[in-house]
Amino acid sequence: MKLLEKKGAETSVGTSLAAVVPQDTRPWYRVPHLVKLNILLLVPLMSSASIGYDGSMMNGLQTLPQWREYFENPTGALLGAMNAVYPAGKIVALFLVAFLSDRIGRKKTISIGALACVAVPFMQGMSKNTSMFIASRALLGFFTSFISQPSPILIAELAYPMHRGKLTALYNTSFYLGGIIAAWCTYGTFKLESTWSWRIPSLIQGLMPALQVLGIYSVPESPRWLVAQGRKTEARQILVKHHAGGDEFSALVDFEMAEIETALTFEADTLSQNSWLDLIRTPANRKRSLIAFIVGWFTQWNGINLVSYYLALILNTVGITSVKEQTLINALLNVSNWLAAVFVGALMVDRLGRRTLYLISTGGMFISYIIWTSLTGSFIATNNATIGKAVIVFVFITNLFYAIAWSPLLQAYTVELYPYTLRSRGISFLYMSSFSALVLANQVNPIAMHSIGWKYYILFCCTLLLLLVTIWFLFPETKGHTLEEIVTSLGMDKCLGTWKNVLLGKRQKGTQLRWRERNKGGVYASVVTVSQSSANWVLATGYFSITQDCDLLSVLWASLFNVSLTFVPPTAEKVDLLPL
């Protein structure tokens, strides 16, 4: 796949950035600096695998008689608590993690979390009683936030622009990779008659954080974070090395630096610094945060959590009680989910778009969940083994539909919606929503399954229908734009927009060109920065602000001697931009 060609670039990041991307027909895996960068990004990509390992491990442990007997057959509220304390610990840590991610950087925050997540699994694996097991899981959840919150942000801010969509989508697919490792570990140890049948999988939970500890120091820091700290030279060096292959005069690097610097300046002028209220202060940010809440909450509360943490209860409902069969189904389910998340979700994200994937995923889940519910009711009434097997088929189908959007896009979609200044807090808010839903689901699901059985599934059929309608009317498409451009897709009270492909006559790179905007509402300053020039024209990119809500603004061509750039806000008349 030739990801460096202009056509592919326009699909991934839009025409303005595509114009300065090097025209190279080689696939990325034959471009040395991109190969190195993508290998380094595997380190933060592993963070989601640690979370996936936990869910699959707990599924597996519940099938083991050795684990159940050691902890006196936990059921109902106690079983829910043993699962729920893990996401509860993550919620407690999120405010601290958001602060550290912006203060000391994404990389150092991940380092702290990875070190702790190597040590805490030893406490879990060596647990002597239920209290120690629960305490270790709460502590593990707390430090998991240190690796899970900054990682997708670092990937989005460091990735090569044309790879950003796929890499951020791949991030959460590693959830299933962790699940695969855990599922096969418990499948491999279930024959052990001692407590090591559950202690070994618990200890192995520290494996992926250990790999992160070894690799994190080779990963560059986020260029956007460095620019925000005033360390522009370091940021530029990282972009030159990893995006331009050492080319100091790269038009791509000039473009990225100009875009980052201008965007951060704009955000500093328009947003209150370090205030969580900024997430809901303006109509645009309230919409962003509403979408983040919906994505986070319903990633857990769309029925999938029943399979993620309580597969054994579902299998018991349809008569599959063998430990071997339950652990094998858990393992195969993780493999199929991972394949769907990677090859349908993550790798198609720039072709189909985020919104389309969400609609396909949720619609497919809705239909398959209805069939799953109906078949389960029929099995309970008839005890027909064939119907029981059909239920398992639709458990797999429901999970496959879930995996093509809700898994890969959890962080990938949300991280694109927020501007830099709010990105860390926005992702923390996403996780608060998701982990809160997970705590509630882990506590409620086993109680509901015990009380009303398969009829509980009807709730999720209704939820999925409501969710499908919400996505249709609320979720915007973000493919084909840079991170800075996406800020405009939801609008801002002081709108941030981009000049695209503006012909201004020959100018030296780095020159800032200023206009005033003349409108009934007043006159507002605007700046563009020259990023690429030839004998008689330049490509300039920049930002402007107005005092009303607006979406992406269409910008037309302008010549050197007649600079009149026209854009059309949806709530205003045409505005002419004149040179100061």
Residues 365-422 have pLDDT tens digits of 999 999 999 988 888 888 888 888 888 899 899 999 999 999 889 888 888 888 877 8
CB of 360 within 8 A of CB of 404? yes
164: helix, strand or coil: helix
Please give the domain boundaries of the chain with CATH numbers for all domains. 31-221+271-483 (1.20.1250.20), 494-579 (no CATH)
Pairing mode, if any, of strands 522-533 and 538-544?
antiparallel
More confident residue, 85 or 485: 85
pLDDT of residue 521: 37
Distance of alpha carbon 469 from alpha carbon 303, whole angstroms: 17
Q: What angle do CA 281, 490, 341 make, to 5 degrees?
A: 115
8 Å CB contact between 121 and 133? no
pLDDT bin (cut points 50, 70, 90) of residue 490 is low
For the stretch 470-480, pLDDT in tens is 999 999 888 87
Mean of the pLDDT values across residues 544-552? 31
Give the helix/strand (H/E) hosting 517.
strand 512-519
Name 547's Cβ contacts closer than 8 Å, sequence gap at least 6.
493, 494, 521, 522, 524
Return all residues near 441 (Cβ < 8 A) that are at least 6 apart: 300, 301, 305, 309
Maximum Cα interatomic distance, the chain, rounded to a whole number of Å? 85
> pLDDT by residue (tens digit) across 180-194?
898 889 888 888 889
* Comparison of pLDDT for 164 and 516, the residue scoring more: 164
Strand order in the sheet with 565-567: 538-544, 522-533, 512-519, 575-579, 565-567
Q: Find the distance separating the first CA and the last CA of the chain, reported in whole Å.
A: 46
Show the tokens assigned to 409: 């896009």
Question: 541 falls in which pLDDT band (50, 70, 90)?
Answer: very low
pLDDT band for position 308 (cuts 50, 70, 90): low
Q: Are 263 and 541 in contact (CB under 8 A)?
A: no
Task: Return the amino acid letter for 477.
Answer: E
Tokens of 71: 């902890």
Distance (Å, rounded) from C-alpha 40 to C-alpha 48? 16
d(CA 445, CA 451): 10
DSSP string, 172-210: HHHHHHHHHHHHHHHHHHTT--STHHHHHHHHHTTHHHH
Structure tokens at 579: 């040179």
Which burial class, exposed, middle or buried, applies to 248 when counting CB atoms under 10 A from its CB (0-12, 13-18, 19+)?
exposed
3-state secondary structure of 222: coil
Look at residue 348 in the predicted model and tell me its pLDDT: 86
Model confidence at 453: pLDDT above 70: yes
CA gap 177, 151 in Å, rounded:
16
- Write the CA distances from 164 to 26, 62, 67, 408, integer angstroms: 18, 38, 42, 13
Bridge partner list, 579: 515
5-25, pLDDT tens digit by residue? Answer: 455 555 555 555 666 777 777
Greater model confidence, 407 or 147: 147
| C-alpha to C-alpha distances, 520 to 359, 544, 547, 551, 554, nearest whole angstrom | 41, 16, 11, 19, 19
